């Protein structure tokens, strides 16, 4: 008789945190009893560990068998102010980093060709190299950062500035720090493209998302999620950096086109965009210079993907009329879909993460949330069935309970 217990029977179905590795090929779940590692594309279980106590955060170290684990105040073996580098293959700890404050988040990646670990605390960020044991490299002060916002590329670190709403862009190659005054209110989401050329930011207001060039620190685009304030859960660029996905407490997944510096523009080197009266022109991707302002009432413009805008956007001809409020002429998502978001989850840092995004490829992404019985949901960006004007849609291809049965 087949008596192997199910995954659901092995682990209590409460997830405390969700994290994707650098290329989103795997995702990890911090559980109320340990951790679990899954393959992103299929949501198949790779490994699971029961510590008889909660793990607040798990970060997979690239494609290696090492995991960075952070416990919480109630765990008897893992502390909330200690990062344990756990060898998943040998099932034992490798080494650890002890801090004086609770750890909000851990990131890892290769900076200038060497493996580094970034430890995010409530009001600072600490950088370590990793060889046989972690070695301290640098320390950066930040504004209060309960959400542990931070991201990195192969040479850059993006972290909160000392002023709420600002971003510090740290270039480890030149050892310089530049400030981007991204928003007037504190940041709620922060994400960098995989090639490190674009940075996306959103504040607690949650109506606008701004795209920045990390080379020039110029604002390339301003995207409108919606009109009503909302809590943005997560932002994520697709692998090529040409699209941005956004989730919020409206239980809506939005997909935007973004002006990547390497994205070809068939029209010209100067991109024009219809802008409301009194607003700031956007920068030309990759140049940091301002685009030409269109004449009032102009009826044609070029979108970020080089296609002509025929005036049939979200607000139709209203977006082309002069002196209309900017909400009518802002750039909205080209596609959206509904994902599962728990209604009892607030925006505070103590609540489980919701709507965490991982791109499998340039047109396929996964959304995973924490809490009780969380779901893995797979979405595909494709052309609409009628194929009119090259329009695209975001369709949910399938879903599965991370710690339960398949659907």
CATH architecture for the domain at 1-103: 6 Propeller (2.120)
Given the candidates 1.10.8.10, 1.10.760.10, 1.10.3720.10, 2.40.128.630, the CATH classification of the domain at 182-407 is: 2.40.128.630
pLDDT, one tens digit per residue, over 248-280 is: 999 999 999 998 877 765 443 333 333 333 333
Sorted by where each begins, the domain ranges of the chain are: 1-103, 182-407
90-123, pLDDT tens digit by residue? 888 888 999 999 999 999 988 888 889 999 999 9
This prediction's pTM: 0.80
- Residue 155 near residue 138, CB atoms below 8 Å: no
How far is CA 73 from each of CA 49, 82, 103, 402, rounded to the nearest angstrom?
A: 19, 11, 11, 25
pLDDT tens-digit series, residues 131-180: 778 899 999 999 999 999 999 999 999 999 999 999 999 999 999 999 99
């Amino acid at each position: 008789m087949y008596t192997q217990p199910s995954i659901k029977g092995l682990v209590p179905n409460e997830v405390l945190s969700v994290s994707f590795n650098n290329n989103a090929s795997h995702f990890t779940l911090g559980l109320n009893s340990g951790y679990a590692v899954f393959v992103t594309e299929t949501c198949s279980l790779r490994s699971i560990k029961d510590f008889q106590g909660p793990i607040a955060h798990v970060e997979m170290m690239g494609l290696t068998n090492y995991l960075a684990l952070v416990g919480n105040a109630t765990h008897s073996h893992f502390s909330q102010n200690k990062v344990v580098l756990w060898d998943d293959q040998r099932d034992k700890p490798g080494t650890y980093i002890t801090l004086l404050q609770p750890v909000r988040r851990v990131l890892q990646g290769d900076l200038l060709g060497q493996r580094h670990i970034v430890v995010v605390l409530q009001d600072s960020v600490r950088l370590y190299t990793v060889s046989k044991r972690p070695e301290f490299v640098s320390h950066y002060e930040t504004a209060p950062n309960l959400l542990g916002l931070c991201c990195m590329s192969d040479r850059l670190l993006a972290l909160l500035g000392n002023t709420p709403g600002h971003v510090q862009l740290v270039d480890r190659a030149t050892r310089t720090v530049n400030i981007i005054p991204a928003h007037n209110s504190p940041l709620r989401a922060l994400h960098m493209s995989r090639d490190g050329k674009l940075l996306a930011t959103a504040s607690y207001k949650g109506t606008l998302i701004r795209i920045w060039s990390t080379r020039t620190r110029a604002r390339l685009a301003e995207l409108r999620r919606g009109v009503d304030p909302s809590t943005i859960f997560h932002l994520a660029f697709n692998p090529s950096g040409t699209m941005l996905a956004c989730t919020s407490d409206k239980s809506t997944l939005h997909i935007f086109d973004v002006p990547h510096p390497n994205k070809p523009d068939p029209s010209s080197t100067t991109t024009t965009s219809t802008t409301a009266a009194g607003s700031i022109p956007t920068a030309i991707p990759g140049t940091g210079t301002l685009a030409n302002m269109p004449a009032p009432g102009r009826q044609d413009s070029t979108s970020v993907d080089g296609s002509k805008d025929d005036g049939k956007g979200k607000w139709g001809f209203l977006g082309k009329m002069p002196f209309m409020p900017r909400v009518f002429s802002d750039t909205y998502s080209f596609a959206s879909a509904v994902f599962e978001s728990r209604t009892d989850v607030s925006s505070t840092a103590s609540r489980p993460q919701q709507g965490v995004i991982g791109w499998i490829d340039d047109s396929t992404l996964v959304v995973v949330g924490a809490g009780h019985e969380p779901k893995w949901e797979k979405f595909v960006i494709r052309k609409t069935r009628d194929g009119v004007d090259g329009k695209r849609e975001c369709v949910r291809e399938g879903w599965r309970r991370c710690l339960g049965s398949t659907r």
